[in-house]
Amino acid sequence: MTYLGIFTGDGFTKQKYEELRKEVGWEQNPPAGVIFHAAGLDSSGNIHVSDIWETEQDFNNFFSSRLKPAMDKINLPVPKGELYPIHNVNAFQGIESHKVK
């Protein structure tokens, strides 16, 4: 079963997100089971992230082995979040321009 992760981080700024991207390298070395990742910032500069994962275990493995250690290293608090079983996913033509190559 696939899962949707929705995460919000107060104080988790664009600069900290970019530090985390560099540290974890998920685009160069995608974690097992990741299908989709999107991040946006609200008007206060706080991050909001949506992910789609093949399984809950895939997310948990990535979090414990790569994401959490990197967050600890750069002194970044864990964002609030939840995983939800997915009922429906649609990917439209525009997704092609956002694929990691």
Supply the pLDDT for residue 61: 98
47 pLDDT band (50/70/90 cuts)? very high
Strand order from edge to edge, sheet including 47-53: 34-41, 47-53, 3-9, 80-85
Tokens of 63: 């979090």
Instruction: Tell me: pLDDT of 43 over 80.
Output: yes
- When pLDDT is averaged across residues 70-93 and rounded to a whole number, the result is 94
The burial of 26, by beta-carbon neighbours within 10 Å (0-12 exposed, 13-18 middle, 19 or more buried), is given as middle
CA dist 13 and 76 (Å) reads: 10
Tokens of 4: 């949707």
Pick the CATH number of 3-88 from 3.40.630.30, 3.30.2010.10, 3.30.70.100, 3.40.50.12780: 3.30.70.100
pTM for the full predicted model: 0.90
User: Domain spans of the chain?
Assistant: 3-88
